[in-house]
Amino acid sequence: MRSRSRAVWNASVRLIVLAVAAGWGLAPATSWSANTAPSPPLGGPAPNFALTTQQNGRLWLTQLRGRAVVLAFGCTHCGACPGLVSGLADLARGLGDAPGRRVFFALVTVDPTRDTPAVLREFERAQGLRAPAWILLTEDRAGQVDVVARRYGVEIRRAGARVEADCVVTLIDAAGAIRARYASASLAALGRDMRALLGLPASP
């Protein structure tokens, strides 16, 4: 009898706590689903993956070996990482003829349901992103992008049609090793490191 009373008491306490939390606004108004994983170590090999390009081809990261890769995550319509693509495009234009020859800029969409290859091609034109320097990537099977994001320690958060992601840019050298990671506010540092990696003179 005593154990039954204790169980009823514990259940009542849990209900009160939940009610108070909701009344105080502690319960989240939006339900997010997220994928989280630790970032791969600097100096270690960049995790390989295969995704679908804006030209509807299949690309493995290792196919770019021998060239540096600037890898970012974003999307064409969501509010994740505003200004990231335009900032990277400015950086690319300052590298002379290296983009598409000695370095590639790869953008993995975090909203693959909407960002089909056709949508990515239109985004490429609208943003003035030049092929072959820019490779825009999506999935052809559900869940592929989430796997890639987890391998790079990038969290994708979804709530209904809303998508957000960590604004992290990864610099991969020609040997396939991760050299550094940058926040979207640190693209100037990425530009300096890129020029040093490519053996280009520092910007004035």
pLDDT bin (cut points 50, 70, 90) of residue 5 is very low
Is the per-residue pLDDT at 107 higher than 60? Answer: yes
Beta strands in the chain (DSSP E): 33-35, 50-53, 58-60, 68-74, 103-109, 134-138, 156-159, 162-165, 168-172, 178-183
What's the pLDDT score for residue 9? 40
Is the pLDDT higher at 168 or at 8? 168
Alpha carbon distance 72, 185 (integer Å): 13
pTM of the model: 0.81
Q: CA nearest 57: which of 138, 130, 133, 123?
A: 138
The stretch 156-162 carries a mean pLDDT of 84
Mean pLDDT, the chain, whole residue set: 84
Q: Is the dihedral of CA 185, 144, 157, 20 positive or negative?
A: negative
Encode pLDDT of 44-97 as tens digits. Answer: 999 999 999 999 999 999 999 999 999 999 999 877 677 899 999 999 999 999
Per the DSSP assignment, residues forming a β-bridge with 94 are none
Peptide bond just before 47 cis, omega within 30 deg: no
Tokens of 184: 């979207």
Alpha carbon distance 204, 200 (integer Å): 12
Q: CA nearest 73: which of 174, 194, 182?
A: 182
Length of the chain (residues) = 204
97, with CB counted inside 10 A (0-12, 13-18, 19+), is exposed
177 DSSP assignment: B
Helices 84-93 & 187-198 angle (0-180, nearest 10) = 30
- Give backbone dihedrals phi and psi of 169, rounded to 5 degrees, phi first: -115, 130
- Give backbone dihedrals phi and psi of 177, rounded to 5 degrees, phi first: -100, 145
